[in-house]
């Protein structure tokens, strides 16, 4: 599976695709608003723009990547690597690519980076996001309940424990 996944840097002309990925993560919650399609589109574009600006301002040196599956763009993967931690800012896939192990594979690769560097990996996840179960299975634990979001952390095994198990 890994050989069919490619990550490439996000370019300015990817913004419309990145918007579509974002919008597809919000469809269920907007379905109950009673808004027209035009209102939903306006709201989603405003929210995407605000989120994109926030990420760029708060994490200017992060890796903003397009996930490609068999040469087709299927999602976004934003990671902020720092000396003392790795932060997964966002991993999102178009609906037809969810639940197939693509996101989990990418997250496990980041966990391997964290293990090699002996630093934690952190992520914020909405408490009702189905991916929460994946993060828990991978060993993330909640370190802060922030209402809608849970701040989760994966801690690498101690270096001596890794050496004993090799």
**Long-range CB pairs of 28-37, under 8 A, 24+ apart, other chains included:** none
Return the axis-axis angle of helices 15-30 and 37-58, rounded to nearest 10°.
120
pLDDT tens-place string over residues 61-89: 999 999 999 999 999 999 999 999 999 99
Give the pairing of strands 86-93 and 121-126.
parallel
pLDDT at 162 over 50: no
The residue-averaged pLDDT of 3-8 equals 90
pLDDT digit string, tens, across residues 141-158 = 999 999 999 999 999 987
- pLDDT score recorded for residue 164: 43
Angle ∠(90,120,130) on CA atoms, nearest 5 = 40
pTM flag (> 0.75): yes
Region 118-126: mean pLDDT is 96
Which domains are seen in the chain, by residue range?
2-165 (3.40.630.30)
């Amino acid at each position: 599976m890994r050989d069919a996944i490619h990550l490439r840097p996000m370019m300015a002309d990817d913004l419309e695709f990145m918007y579509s990925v974002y919008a597809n993560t919000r469809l269920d919650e907007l379905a109950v608003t009673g808004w027209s399609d035009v209102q939903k589109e306006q709201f989603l574009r405003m929210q995407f723009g605000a989120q994109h600006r926030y990420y760029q301002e708060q994490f200017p040196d992060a890796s903003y990547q397009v996930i490609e599956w068999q040469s087709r763009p299927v999602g976004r993967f934003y990671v902020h690597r720092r000396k003392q931690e790795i932060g997964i800012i966002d991993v999102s896939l178009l609906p037809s690519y969810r639940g197939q192990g693509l996101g989990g594979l990418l997250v496990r690769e980041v966990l391997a980076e964290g293990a090699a560097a002996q630093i934690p990996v952190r992520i914020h996840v909405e408490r009702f996001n189905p991916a929460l179960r994946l993060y828990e299975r991978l060993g993330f634990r909640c370190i802060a309940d922030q209402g809608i979001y849970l701040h989760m952390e994966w801690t690498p095994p101690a270096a001596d424990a890794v050496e004993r198990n090799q």
